[in-house]
Chain A
């Protein structure tokens, strides 16, 4: 191919999207008390057969109280690319003040081949800006680094939280990153992956993350092309070749940049059908109609069950005709979300309430109290006191 031909060819590269079944699990202590990962690992392992060993991962909130004021960047360096690490570190040091960095502890024995080196950096933006711009700054830098430095990927960028993920069954990933031995959090989400049309990749595993928001996802987003092209207009770059990526960008746009409340955002991602809107009272009908009109390109179509988490909040949501499973349960302060009820009962036999939410109806769990952990107040910025 001539040079010109190659250039043209690049123009119409359309992102592949990975599709598949999966298991998802989430556990939130609504009193904000931290707990270890042993139960969560057992729960997700109980759904072993819903994944195929090509991806697993966890998000943990309340993870780094000692560095709670710093963005914790978890970075993967793939293909033993030493240049990637040098370039990425130069980039990070150029744009951030790094207060501490270290390799993310691991067992040294990954079950899957091609394990990347994973490193974490606790950073503050090197330019002093206000809180919102601060976040925008971090988002921009994350997207820029991920889309420009080959073999380097920031896969976790929130404060006082972190994502651990990779190729393997979720229990293998937990073991590799020593999750149940090293960490505690008040909110855990977990994912077991079953991609069907592309080989699993470490970066493509769930949870997906931007700032402190994470998404674990079971399903396929048939509207991916529509969603992706819309989000690209707002500066997002879909680089992971997986449909889940649009969920994290859509929630970032709606919740953080446009400041919509979560309840409304769920009505954008999985809106009620017109037939149902017609029967609403005047005010709600107007609101829901406007949401559908304005945000039609962000409707997530196709089967999905997702858990969206951020500090102090965990939301479960299925597509509007509920083509993927999701069960919710409470026990005392604990709220559980799971693909299968059995996993919840395995780790919490006594439950106060178990239910299956309707399609498009969010299950919203929030941390209601501010609590002290190690003599420090957890920064639950988004929680109304």
Chain B
């Protein structure tokens, strides 16, 4: 049946430059370019194009242009081209609309409405190239204070701490790689994150798909191992293979629903790692079926602590929703050492479009509310907060920390560093950049050496920028920016938004 959908991208091939070499045909897994025997030349099928730009980059003679072409229906502010296309698509296939990557709808990005402070006169800015500038960060539960052994008080040389300080994670920069499972992303992409985390002195998160055995020895020390509702690849050895365990309750891109890794992506190694039969769909239920209440979560947290000999902090990841603050308080009281909050714009390999653009709240507001609530209850010290979901640059990182986060997770930004162009077609399993696919012809396109170096470069560059901004505020340790909302001002925000963020307006 003839599809009534319009192509979303316009492809332009400069016939003068094109040598008919076939690179584009080979590069495009979606079949946009194909060789027409009859015409004796390469032809284009624009309706298949996702706008990933792979062919443009790899055309050896720069003969290709791919431009976004919003469907040219009669302009209508209400019935936009996107809405019309969605309706036509669903009329044709009767299915839920799927999308990869984070929410792209124009909800307000609060980071862009927050401005930072800098020192002038009364307080010297500090030059990070000449003075120490510290980004070292601890994650985990901290006691309210420490006690020293009585007999040795005052004798600094031998003062011994008698307070038991719970296990914590030490990272060199407050940026971690967000949970992206092996299965959702390719082996080389997964390994690149591990390699970069090791070199940077930070951590990556395995996501819910287990940790391949061959990576445990070298990269376990920089891994947070995640368990989600599907419990894929979880056994005692897995729980003990990383430095921390994260219970994933929710994800910002799709709060309240589970996950679905199609059987096509369950390759032999993915199957072995996840401990499921090859080629079967890996379904994560919406809830954890052993967590129907906060006391169940507490039981699971303590079961994990028991299984890991109380040596590893336990994190609980939730999606940012309306009552995140109260939920977070419960999570801390249930015994979690770290809370990860994933905002509305958090990435995903696949989410129903309806969920992605309609459910959850922005991370900025959720983060501020959670930090406030934990402080009101006097339990902020008992956990660390990792914020995630749409952290795009160093400015977002530093604003998140000033709002109250201890560190941030980056997912989409890390993928973009490796080559991703946010074409949102991750769920097809045909990622041309070799990131979100298990097709061996595609995964081999990603070289872990190069990709991990790109990740290292990105996080180093951001860390330099954070140091510059920190120094500008006259602060030489990231600790002194945590929750320091005095350093922030809002611009273009309404009163209630400033209230929730707990910041003043610019000029106030």
> For residues 215 through 265 of chain B, which have their beta carbon under 8 Å from a beta carbon of chain A?
none
**Do B502 and A291 have beta carbons less than 8 Å apart?**
no
B84-92, B298-306, B330-338, B373-381 - interface stretch: B373-381
Identify A293's interface contact among B165, B402, B477, B480, CB under 8 A: B165
Q: Given A19-B122, A224-B484, A302-B474, do A229 and B375 touch, yes or no (CB 8 Å)? A: yes
Please, which residues of chain A bring their CB within 8 A of the CB of B487? 222, 225
Please, which residues of chain A bring their CB within 8 A of the CB of B132? 273-275, 321
Q: Is B486 an interface residue (CB 8 A)?
A: yes
**Do B504 and A14 have beta carbons less than 8 Å apart?**
yes
Q: Given A8-B499, A260-B148, A273-B132, do A14 and B474 touch, yes or no (CB 8 Å)? A: no
**Do A323 and B154 have beta carbons less than 8 Å apart?**
no
**Do A232 and B375 have beta carbons less than 8 Å apart?**
yes
Please, which residues of chain A bring their CB within 8 A of the CB of B19? none
**Do B380 and A12 have beta carbons less than 8 Å apart?**
no
Complex: A223 Cα to B484 Cα, angstroms = 7
Q: Given A259-B147, A260-B148, A274-B134, do A321 and B156 touch, yes or no (CB 8 Å)? A: no
The interface bits of chain A over 305-348 (1 if a CB of B lies within 8 angstroms of the residue's CB, else 0) are 00000000000000011010000000000000000000000000
Q: Is B292 an interface residue (CB 8 A)?
A: no
Smallest CB gap from A273: residue in B: B132
The interface bits of chain B over 343-386 (1 if a CB of A lies within 8 angstroms of the residue's CB, else 0) are 00000000000000000000000000000000100101100000
Q: Given A273-B134, A293-B138, A321-B131, do A226 and B499 touch, yes or no (CB 8 Å)? A: no
The interface bits of chain B over 465-485 (1 if a CB of A lies within 8 angstroms of the residue's CB, else 0) are 000000001111101111111
Please, which residues of chain A bring their CB within 8 A of the CB of B496? 8
Please, which residues of chain A bring their CB within 8 A of the CB of B124? 303, 323
**Do B119 and A297 have beta carbons less than 8 Å apart?**
no
A59-67, A106-114, A142-150, A282-290 - interface stretch: A282-290
Q: Given A220-B122, A293-B138, do A12 and B502 touch, yes or no (CB 8 Å)? A: yes
Identify B480's interface contact among A21, A259, A301, CB under 8 A: A301
Most buried by B among A12, A273, A283: A12
Please, which residues of chain A bring their CB within 8 A of the CB of B483? 225-226, 229-230, 297
Q: Is A263 an interface residue (CB 8 A)?
A: yes
Smallest CB gap from B484: residue in A: A225
Most buried by B among A5, A219, A253, A301: A301
Please, which residues of chain B bring their CB within 8 A of the CB of A295? 145
Q: Is B498 an interface residue (CB 8 A)?
A: yes
Q: Is B143 an interface residue (CB 8 A)?
A: yes
Q: Given A226-B483, A229-B375, A297-B482, do A5 and B477 touch, yes or no (CB 8 Å)? A: no
Most buried by A among B131, B378, B477, B486: B486
**Do A302 and B486 have beta carbons less than 8 Å apart?**
no
**Do A14 and B147 have beta carbons less than 8 Å apart?**
no
CB distance from B164 to the nearest CB of A (A): 11
The interface bits of chain B over 140-165 (1 if a CB of A lies within 8 angstroms of the residue's CB, else 0) are 00111111100001101111110001
Please, which residues of chain B bring their CB within 8 A of the CB of A300? 480
**Do A258 and B145 have beta carbons less than 8 Å apart?**
yes
CB distance from B476 to the nearest CB of A (A): 6
Q: Is B168 an interface residue (CB 8 A)?
A: yes
CB distance from A281 to the nearest CB of B (A): 9
Q: Is A74 an interface residue (CB 8 A)?
A: no
Q: Is B503 an interface residue (CB 8 A)?
A: yes
Q: Is B123 an interface residue (CB 8 A)?
A: yes
> For residues 444 through 460 of chain B, which have their beta carbon under 8 Å from a beta carbon of chain A?
none
Please, which residues of chain B bring their CB within 8 A of the CB of A17? 486
CB distance from B332 to the nearest CB of A (A): 13
CB distance from A313 to the nearest CB of B (A): 12
Most buried by B among A196, A222, A253: A222
**Do B474 and A303 have beta carbons less than 8 Å apart?**
yes
> For residues 186 through 242 of chain A, which have their beta carbon under 8 Å from a beta carbon of chain B?
196-197, 219-220, 222-227, 229-230, 232-234
**Do B126 and A225 have beta carbons less than 8 Å apart?**
no
Q: Is A299 an interface residue (CB 8 A)?
A: yes
Q: Given A17-B486, A233-B380, A274-B136, do A222 and B375 touch, yes or no (CB 8 Å)? A: no
Please, which residues of chain A bring their CB within 8 A of the CB of B148? 260-261, 264
The interface bits of chain A over 20-32 (1 if a CB of B lies within 8 angstroms of the residue's CB, else 0) are 1100000000000
**Do B474 and A301 have beta carbons less than 8 Å apart?**
yes
The interface bits of chain B over 45-64 (1 if a CB of A lies within 8 angstroms of the residue's CB, else 0) are 00000000000000000000
Complex: A42 Cα to B124 Cα, angstroms = 30
Q: Is A11 an interface residue (CB 8 A)?
A: yes
Q: Is A294 an interface residue (CB 8 A)?
A: yes
Q: Is A9 an interface residue (CB 8 A)?
A: yes
Please, which residues of chain B bring their CB within 8 A of the CB of A257? 145
Q: Is B495 an interface residue (CB 8 A)?
A: yes
Please, which residues of chain B bring their CB within 8 A of the CB of A380? none
Please, which residues of chain B bring their CB within 8 A of the CB of A15? 486
Q: Is A354 an interface residue (CB 8 A)?
A: no
CB distance from B301 to the nearest CB of A (A): 21
**Do A226 and B484 have beta carbons less than 8 Å apart?**
yes
Q: Given A12-B498, A226-B481, do A284 and B157 touch, yes or no (CB 8 Å)? A: yes
**Do A321 and B503 have beta carbons less than 8 Å apart?**
no
Q: Given A12-B498, A222-B119, A302-B474, do A233 and B159 touch, yes or no (CB 8 Å)? A: no
Identify A225's interface contact among B159, B160, B486, CB under 8 A: B486
Q: Given A14-B502, A274-B136, do A299 and B479 touch, yes or no (CB 8 Å)? A: yes
Please, which residues of chain A bring their CB within 8 A of the CB of B479? 223, 226, 292, 296-297, 299, 301
Smallest CB gap from B159: residue in A: A287
The interface bits of chain B over 247-285 (1 if a CB of A lies within 8 angstroms of the residue's CB, else 0) are 000000000000000000000000000000000000000
Complex: A297 Cα to B148 Cα, angstroms = 20
Complex: A254 Cα to B148 Cα, angstroms = 12
**Do B477 and A263 have beta carbons less than 8 Å apart?**
no
Complex: A231 Cα to B131 Cα, angstroms = 28
Q: Given A224-B484, A264-B156, A294-B165, do A12 and B123 touch, yes or no (CB 8 Å)? A: no
> For residues 119 through 139 of chain B, which have their beta carbon under 8 Å from a beta carbon of chain A?
119, 121-124, 126, 131-132, 134, 136, 138
Please, which residues of chain A bring their CB within 8 A of the CB of B485? 14, 225, 229
CB distance from B492 to the nearest CB of A (A): 16
Please, which residues of chain B bring their CB within 8 A of the CB of A223? 475, 479-481, 484
Q: Given A294-B145, A321-B131, A323-B124, do A12 and B503 touch, yes or no (CB 8 Å)? A: yes
**Do A294 and B143 have beta carbons less than 8 Å apart?**
yes
Complex: A225 Cα to B480 Cα, angstroms = 8
Please, which residues of chain A bring their CB within 8 A of the CB of B134? 273-274
Complex: A120 Cα to B58 Cα, angstroms = 83
**Do A5 and B123 have beta carbons less than 8 Å apart?**
no
**Do B474 and A233 have beta carbons less than 8 Å apart?**
no
Please, which residues of chain B bring their CB within 8 A of the CB of A263? 154, 156
**Do A12 and B145 have beta carbons less than 8 Å apart?**
no
Smallest CB gap from A18: residue in B: B122
27 contacts between A and B (CB under 8 A): A5-B495, A11-B502, A12-B498, A12-B499, A12-B503, A15-B486, A19-B123, A21-B122, A196-B121, A222-B119, A224-B484, A225-B486, A226-B481, A232-B375, A234-B378, A257-B145, A258-B144, A261-B153, A264-B156, A287-B160, A290-B146, A297-B381, A297-B482, A299-B479, A302-B123, A302-B475, A321-B132
Known contacts A263-B154, A293-B138; 10 further A-B pairs (Cβ under 8 A): A14-B502, A15-B486, A222-B123, A222-B480, A222-B487, A260-B146, A261-B156, A296-B138, A296-B477, A301-B476
Partner-A contacts on B (CB < 8 A): 119, 121-124, 126, 131-132, 134, 136, 138, 142-148, 153-154, 156-161, 165, 168, 375, 378, 380-381, 402, 473-477, 479-487, 495-496, 498-499, 501-504
